Copies of this chain bind each other. A is one copy, B any other.
Amino acid sequence: MAKRSARLEADPAFRPHEAPREGNVRNPERARRDILAAARQEFAAYGLAGARVDRIAEKAGLNKRMLYYYFDSKSGLFTAVLEAVYAELCDLAEQLDFETGAPSLLLGRLVELLFDHYDRHPDTITLLNSENLHGARHLAASPRLKQMSPAFRQRLARLIARGEADGSFRPGIDPVDLYLSIVGQIYFVQSNAATLSLFFGRDLTRRRVRTAWRRHVREMTLRAVCRPESLEV
């Protein structure tokens, strides 16, 4: 049917659900994955209220009934999508070794790492906005989230400690505050790119502008955190 052509084609590794062909093959894992990918796309594009279960099923190339089989409800599906988003966010910290190298350099790299993450996964933003609109109700009910953050926070604290120790960072920096300041700038500009571009007459979605913004956030952060002497470069 025409439905197959409506599949999501963003994922390069994507292959239609019914492909194998030897009799409607049972591949539960893949069905789950397809549904989740389709749902993520839909929720990111329209928000929780604006998302349509029919469209998700169509994008996933599966019967609508299957969404309920695997995820219970639209709400359950949204929760699953959010968990995936959070898992990605937590993986981030592990991509950087905070133990070796100059703290100020590492901090700069962290900013870039975060920026690039939101740049590559812009749907993260609309998904989190949706969840916040609903008071984080879904995450609050999700048991998986609970053990996610501590690792993240610890690593950041360790970086700050090293920076303070070697005198390159100002004293008294709070890891959470620092994180919020960095991500706040990154997140806000991407989240509100449409209205801000209109308001300031500067297209904030253009590559070049984005790159400049990436540099700006790093500099803002370093200037605010590091001792002046350690920035003489």
CB distance from A177 to the nearest CB of B (A): 5
Given A47-B47, A153-B200, A176-B200, A133-B139 contact (CB < 8 Å): no
> Does A131 belong to the interface (CB within 8 Å)?
yes
- A228 partner residues in chain B, CB cutoff 8 A: 228
Given A46-B49, A187-B188, A223-B224, A180-B196 contact (CB < 8 Å): yes
> Does A12 belong to the interface (CB within 8 Å)?
no
- A136 partner residues in chain B, CB cutoff 8 A: 194-195, 197-198
> Does A148 belong to the interface (CB within 8 Å)?
yes
Given A187-B188, A188-B187, A198-B140, A216-B181 contact (CB < 8 Å): yes
Would A148 and B185 count as touching, CB distance under 8 A? no
Would A131 and B196 count as touching, CB distance under 8 A? no
- A139 partner residues in chain B, CB cutoff 8 A: 195, 198
- A192 partner residues in chain B, CB cutoff 8 A: 128-129, 132, 187
Q: How many copies does the complex hold?
A: 4
- A184 partner residues in chain B, CB cutoff 8 A: 184-189
Chain A contact surface mostly: helix
Q: How large is the interface on A (under 10, 10 to 19, 20 to 34, 35 or more residues)?
A: 35 or more
Given A50-B48, A145-B198, A177-B131 contact (CB < 8 Å): no
> Does A183 belong to the interface (CB within 8 Å)?
yes
The 10 closest A-B pairs by CB, nearest first: A49-B50, A184-B188, A136-B194, A184-B185, A49-B49, A223-B224, A224-B224, A220-B224, A228-B228, A184-B184
